[in-house]
Amino acid sequence: MNSIKSLANIHHIHLYVQDLAAYKEVFEQLFHAQLVERIFVGPKEILKFDLNGSSIFLSPTRTDQDEINHIGIASNNVREHVRKLQDFGWEILEERKTDSESTVFLKSAGGIVFELMQVFD
């Protein structure tokens, strides 16, 4: 089996939760995660934690939008990696592209959702 180059780095884990304040307390008290940033996207607050060098994002769930709990993986070639993962039976859920990054959400054959992210310099 050919290895998929540059997919070993977890960029982040993003979780959508019913009670943001309660999960904030859990991550701070139980996991000793450090709250490093509060991000506001319109009225929605996203909490960014550092958990031993890994970024964990917590967002409140909303009824007017589909949210996807996922693991974000940094990629140096999203197109190549998506093609190889599709060979393993992974399904593309959503693609996004801007001038600064390319992002693809995929569901693994086992049902876990991953976000592949390539940032352009």
- Residue 6 CA from chain centroid, whole number: 16
Over residues 67-97, the pLDDT tens digits come to 778 988 888 889 999 998 998 899 999 999 9
pLDDT digits (tens, 9 = 90+) for 90-115: 999 999 999 999 999 999 887 888 99
- Determine the distance from the C-alpha atom of residue 120 to the mean position of all C-alpha atoms in its chain, rounded to a whole number: 18
Task: Report percent pLDDT > 90 for the chain.
Answer: 48
Q: Would you state the pLDDT for residue 1?
A: 46
Q: Where is pLDDT greater, at 46 or 62? A: 46
Share of the chain above pLDDT 70, in %: 90
- Which of 23, 81, 82 has its CA nearest to residue 56? 23
- The whole-number average pLDDT for the span 2-16 is 73
pTM given for the model? 0.72
**Multiple choice CATH, 1-11+66-121, 3.10.180.10, 2.30.30.30, 3.60.20.10, 3.30.450.20:** 3.10.180.10
Domain ranges of the chain: 1-11+66-121, 19-60
Tokens of 93: 């859920």
